Structure 1
Amino acid sequence: MMVAHLLALADDQRNMLRVHRRFLRDNTDPFYLPEARFIELFRLNKESALELLGEISPYMKDGIRITFVPKAIRMVSALHYYATGSFLRDIGQDFVCPLSKTTICRSINEVTLIIQNKIMMKYIKFPTSLEMKNRIRQRFFNATGFPGVIGAIDCTHVKIKKPSAEDEYCYINRKGFFSKNVQLICDYDLNILAGYARFGGSTHDAFIWENCKVRQLMQQQYEQNIYTCWLIGDSGYPLQPWLMTPYRNPETRGEENFNNHHIQARNCIERLNGVLKKVFACLSSDRGILFNPVYSGAIINACLTLHNFRKLHNMPMPEINYTQDTNIDIGEHETMESNATILQDARRIRENLVRNYFN
């Protein structure tokens, strides 16, 4: 009896000494976060983030000292900045990425330049083959009834830090803030086909178009009679055989139908602008990119690349309430066309579309 009592007492003492510990998340590893929280902070799920890390890791610097910051932490620091647009000190003080402001700057710079220079061309491709063009063209036609479209084009302003005094005039836009005027081309499913973040906010959309490689490519293909296809843009662009714009003053029912279907087909580029600024808050007017214009362009290119990367991995896209922008900067671009034959050809193509599809 006494022996049993002593054994029970010893067992009770062992139970009292036993410490029941909870499993705590590793604060140094963001991949220990719950999946939903990870997506909220970095705009990618863990699987796609690891795939991105595998792609950019060979180009990232390897640590020598014992205090080096792991590549995964550097990458998610940059992703967190793109997603939130927060000031660098706020990101560094975040419990997910507890780094100094200097380290955050270096991490964003490293990841941004790698994405722009090494993998951007892999994920953003303008359709050049007949198969790719036919697939995009059929998608537009099935969804909107507008034939021959291989992409919608528009520009959007991304707020940036005030540039130096001698360059201010290049970046002040018509709304009164400093920005980059970013040209985007997308398909109906919001996949970015081309992005051009070189010019400042004071540059007109039509000027950017006339100086981009896509315009040169499409004109060359038109002159060689390779494909019959075009982009669609608003009235701020010149009417060209490879760029269909709406009638400014429709006079017939067919011309009104053309404009209505044109608006439906061009809706995708307006939605893309909204999605980009909602997913990547650093591109929104509320935040803006607080860096010099050249580096801001690199950050924009990185976000465009990540958008297509997200699409490829079926990441959810936010719902955008699209409203038609009636404040279009209209100029007499058709009269500015140096080659009258090109303008005549464009008008003939547009009239054929009205007669064959919209009457």
Structure 2
Amino acid sequence: MAEKPPEDGYISVVDEEPEILELLKWDTPQIQKQEERPCEQPPEKPKSPEKRGSKQETDPFDLAEPNFIETYRLSKDLARALIDDLKPLMPETTKTPDFTVDCKILAAISFYATGKFQKSVAGKTDPNITQYFVSTAVTQVTEALNHPTIVKKHIHFPHLRDERDVVKARFYMKYGIPNVVGCIDCTHVPIAKPDDDQKSHFNKSYHSKKVQIICDSDLTIISVDPSPGAHSHHGVLSRHAVTVDLKSLNDANEQCWLLGSAYYSVKPYIMTPIPKITKKSPVSPEKHYNTLHAQAHTAVTDAIKHLKSRWKCLQSTCNKAYDPPMVSMMIVACCILHNLCNRRGLPLCPMTQTEERLEAMKQKVANGPISKKLNDDTEGVRVRAQLMERLWNERRVAPELPKKRMSKKDRILEAHQSQAPPLPPHPAQMAPPPPQAGPLLGMDDGSKRPRLNMPAPHAHAHTYPLMPPAWGHYPPHH
């Protein structure tokens, strides 16, 4: 049954109390202040678009040059030139107009430099910049850097005679070894566990991609081969196109060879160190050859070290989220960026001691021990012997080595000898005094030893006794 509506003159006692209480509560100063606060907030609301606008206006090229190089490893002019080269090769973005090609390229370079996905690029903290965006940018920029026109522009093996002569001359001037067109070595870059062919990518410690790198005397990479292949160093080189070029040059009576480590077999086109020669071995033509070879081969080891210190995504302890084909393209992309920085002479971002120690340990485990069954070529051994004889005949004068560190006993003896007064000459070696007209002062007879006549001391002067002459540990001879 529906209730009757209240009459117009009816006043409810139950409803009257809450209204009065509400009025009394609102009348208190505390409630008035609380009610006034919302009225003061509206002027603060427009701050959010201002913040958003300031973040959108943040430009990485507004950073100081040292900060920009520290973040992106490239200088500003190199970054702009790279953006101009890659823009025609990258797809345009229509969904998010704020994330331009420039933003993608800088995001990818930042990932190469740190090896980690960043949630902010160029100072932006927009929620749309996520790990997915950075991963997509890395994929697109890596594919653009692997375009044949970009690779040929920045990684070039000296195929012309004039180019080879320049490389040979610089090696000879720096290290004293003739006819060297490059140093070669391999390194390992981590990958995600592949679905197929896992055995060829597993190196007893982790899954990796074996990369062959050839560089010149200026640490510029002139050849890189990140494709999968044989496990041995020489197996990777034997199927590379550089081998065909070097063989044809040597057959045409132009001596050209690479300098390889002990993991390679000696061939007419690759010179390796002579085994069983240590630092304690006596001086010989073999040891002299190994010394020069080791000095020159540091070019490729330093180039690999600089490559991984600049672009940490290639280190053995960094990200392992990409499959082998993508890692191969990333290696080529980082080699291109390395050459850009190296030719411009940009500063390095060195590894920490922990990173350097872990990298060396991982590489040593991945390479394994040197094989004792290397197939040395007889012609290669003959060419190496000729080179060894030439280096021995043209050897340079070695600089003086620093003195060995003396023991504590020798240092004390040397200090005592330096502080001791010099020994007087032997009486037999003393020249007789020249003859004079009269007797000398303080000398009664010319045949006797002279006597010193000391002046009388003053009253307040200090007197010091005369010490006998120091004759050393042996008595004077008569």
* Counterpart residue identity of residue 149, structure 1: V
SS in 2 for 1:140: helix
| Number of residue pairs aligned between Structure 1 and Structure 2 | 325
Match of 2:238 among 198, 210, 213: 210
1:82 positional shift = 0.3
1:243 and 2:270 aligned:
yes
SS in 1 for 2:197: helix
SS in 2 for 1:44: coil
Partner of 1:198: 227
Q: Which runs of 4+ in 1 moved over 4 A?
A: 24-28, 318-328
Partner of 2:371: 331
Query: Which structure is higher in helix share?
Result: 1
Partner of 1:80: 110
Q: Which structure's relative contact order is higher, taking Cα pairs within 8 Å and 6+ residues apart?
A: 1
Partner of 1:350: 384
Residues 231-281 of structure 1 show CA distances to partners (whole Å, capped at 9, x for unaligned) of: 000111111111000111348700110001000000111111111111001
Partner of 1:229: 256
Match of 1:167 among 157, 182, 197: 197
Distance in 1 between residues matched to 2:276 and 2:96, nearest whole Å:
69
1:102 positional shift = 2.2
1:267 and 2:298 aligned:
yes
Unaligned runs of 5+ in 1: 1-20, 338-342
Partner of 2:218: 189
SS in 2 for 1:155: strand
Distance in 2 between residues matched to 1:328 and 1:148, nearest whole Å:
30
Partner of 2:90: 60
Maintained 8 Å contact 1:29/1:73: no
Question: What is the Cα-based RMSD across aligned positions, in Å?
Answer: 2.7
TM-score by length of 1: 0.83
Distance in 1 between residues matched to 2:156 and 2:122, nearest whole Å:
37
Match of 2:78 among 45, 48, 51: 48
Partner of 1:138: 169
1:332 positional shift = 4.6
Distance in 2 between residues matched to 1:316 and 1:66, nearest whole Å:
35
Partner of 1:129: 160
TM-score by length of 2: 0.63
* Counterpart residue identity of residue 203, structure 2: N
Among the aligned pairs, what percent are the same residue? 28
Unaligned runs of 5+ in 2: 1-49, 394-478
Partner of 1:302: 333
Distance in 1 between residues matched to 2:169 and 2:241, nearest whole Å:
24
SS in 1 for 2:213: strand
* Counterpart residue identity of residue 93, structure 2: G
1:289 positional shift = 4.0
Residues 212-245 of structure 1 show CA distances to partners (whole Å, capped at 9, x for unaligned) of: 11112111222233x2121000111111111000
Residues 2-35 of structure 1 show CA distances to partners (whole Å, capped at 9, x for unaligned) of: xxxxxxxxxxxxxxxxxxx9xx776542222222
* Counterpart residue identity of residue 204, structure 1: S
